[in-house]
Structure 1
């Protein structure tokens, strides 16, 4: 081998060594790169596994805490998974017993269930499925189901899943609501009051009574606003309250206003308007209840006029009583004076019969004056304008009355229990007790007369009684004795007005009076005065 060949061989070996080194370096770099990629893939895979685990945990939490029941089954209907809500609804625990959804289908809904299942298979899902199901412990329940198929990676169906909502109670409440709605509708339609539902002044619903009041059909009223059937000035006054209602200041108000009928005439109505609000307190509707008060107002106007006329008549009667009494008293006094003059001038010439006749004339004149005074008292006793209310000690009042009226020595007036201090008009209260005590004195016929005054404190009234041991009063006279000129018996000292005055005073103080009596034994008058 020549030196030239050797040199060529050396250079070839040199090139081979260099190429081998280059190859080794490339292999080393690739190995290092592969190692780094492997490490990176490992770290990424670990992160993915961690994220998957987290998501699985989160999904499991969502799954377990769903308020609605969740069910997963295989293609044959065998239940593979149920959340807590599903176990609670159906009453089964698939960890302890197997369950196929066919077992849950209510027999009368079986055909509908198979149709829905076929829809699930062909379309991949169904929604708004509503049917009854059997449960283990909760009886028959009505449920709403949304379901979808589960596929493998080759798009082959391997099962199904569904969200099941128990709507049994919801349907019951809806049924109750619909029933109540029907009942309310019947009440509204048959109400004697006109009822209007309005929204921002626009009529949206009316009942038959309101349609009849105005003479419009329901359809005609739906085309109108409230202002179209109202008097302009009156509607503007109502609008102020409606604005307060809209701003939440008030929830209801009442007003008397006129409505314009279809024929152009109007009528007065009492209108009660109330707000119907949403959950946020905003106005949704106004509901109005309308009552025709046209006739009522006419009656009230007539009544007011009658009251005015009655007041005028009463005043005229009072004036007449005063005028007549004044005109009667003057000639009576003149006659009495003339009788006294004649009696005094002829005292020496008159015999006993003549003196007796003059005495009878004097007694008659005195009785007539007493009668006139009693009539005046009766006419003015119920006049509240003259009342002067103050505290009255009845114990002192009774002592004063004993000194005013003539009580014979054989009659004793006794107070059984200390009497109260009451509020009232002294003159009226004195008239009341004086007339009753005086009446008892007049009709006491026993050798030893007894008049007893007693008292009992009631919740809202004072209860008094005045008892005597006199002649008594027949049962049939118990009512009439409180009327004018209706005295019992022929006692010349009775004017027949005293008990009528008593009745008017008791009425003035919102009380009542009654009596118990036995002929020959005596009478007890009971009466009350409001505190």
Structure 2
């Protein structure tokens, strides 16, 4: 070989070395860039998983914070899940206890179960079911249940229900019935004769006093016409006129002479009033009879009876008021105590002065109709003003009577229903609130539901929800009720209050609720849309930190009370969980947006890297092919002139060029393996391996065994095929035995399919087990090995959420294990 040829070969070899070094530097830079991007994405995913876990925990907190018993069951009545309230109500020891709700139904109500389930499956909901149960701890209870069906993919799979113990309420109703019977007993044994007749004047009921007064036994009176028993013809005419008035709904009092069973003539004072059915129709009359015969001759007895009536009047459990022309003439002590007045302070005062402004018009309307003769009585739920300006709710029954000189008087019976009404409203409000916000995740939507429900409960025209921004040191209005919103439900003149300013800002700092009876006396009061005299402000606290404030105002002084405060604090506890959840979801959505942008950047980076790898591959392979062609021409043109050493050197150059081209191809393959261009499909791994075995050249001394049918898997078929080609090719390539054996096995766990490729080849020393999967690490200097194949395999397995590992013993053989996620 002449010197010129040697120089040419040296320059070619130097260029080849420089090209390889440049390729390695480019690959290392791009690999580092890709590794950094992947690490950033992994961190973002971990943050997202943490937020999701936190949100799930808080939603569980919502479930646990529902005040009433809450149970989820399957369609056979088996308990799937229950909160602590349900554990206590149903008599279990813990939420993990297994239970069968149908077995808790009392035998007396077992007939209700089947029709209830039919209704639930047909309509999807069952309301106001009342049923007796025997709890797991053998307690007898009456419960009220609201049920709804749980669907999955349009199919009923279970039911959920809120269960409330109404045993006490039922006892209360029984107590009412007991009181009714007690008063019936009182009526039956009262000193005044009482009689009930129908519209035909037939006797329906008499008390003991009436029997004593008339001399008749009950069976001698019932069903007979009253007039025919007691009255002469003249008295019958008089009574007929009275009965006619009763039919028109009028009450009156009169004296009449009757004849007893013994034939004695008695002078009775009769006070009669129409009797109504539940539709307001007159179905007869009730008469109270007083024997005046002895009274007229005995004033002391009359005085005694008067005193007895006064005692009844003063000690009645209900308030009683006698009025005329809207002026209170007399009231009992019960009514005065209701309003915290002395009787003397009320008597002589105007009736409307103790009626709230909201109810005055309605009360006046009913009274006007009564004075016109359109009504004899009416019943009205109305509010009275107490001496301190606070209010009570009452059930007021007003009856018109004629007094001396035929002047109209009004008798009112007043029952305080404030507590009963408040309990009903609170239960209804909390139930509506829980139902309305359950499942909602938007903070503004949750806040709008809260202000609407609370404003209705408080009967206030002003209710606002504030959120606290501790970073900006302010409170912002996010939902309002009343004049603060326009037709589009936008908040008008939205306030931003610095923390610590105003009553709202003060509560945000202290974390303590406040009840303001007169806002004009509080220097921190801030006027919003208009001045109001009463204010109630409650913090919404989560994890010992104020995250929001509920605020409501009212025009009158001392409107809000401790019951309102207690209720709003309960609402704030429920709302706090939901609002915090909404905030976390908003953070999660922000993190998802960031991750989406990172993924987009990663996609672009991968595309650029792949494009660059293709360009580099082409640019590197072109000079290699030119060198290979030159070497071929040199050998062909100088075959006779070159000695054996020169030909051998040229062959070494060709082998080096071939290895260099394979290295470039493997680098390109490695760079193209990514999540971005992954195409998943369901396929048979058995058929895939069979196809691989058809593609590969398998020497006669190599035997391949598949232990059993390989599974159907979901993945990128082309990439999984590349894994098997690499592993089986290596098992063939590095087998030094006269009879080579390759085994392909499979197994599975609950989450992954497991594969292994074993051989009885040369084996790998343990110190190289970790290095074989790294780039450019080849344990032998074979011209057909670049040290990239197993790196590609590991990358593909990783993209399928799997792992690859090695078991090997030098001189015995190797087993490569890898897993693919199901």
**What is the TM-score of this pair, normalised by structure 2?**
0.33
Q: Larger radius of gyration, structure 1 or 2?
A: 1
**What is the TM-score of this pair, normalised by structure 1?**
0.48
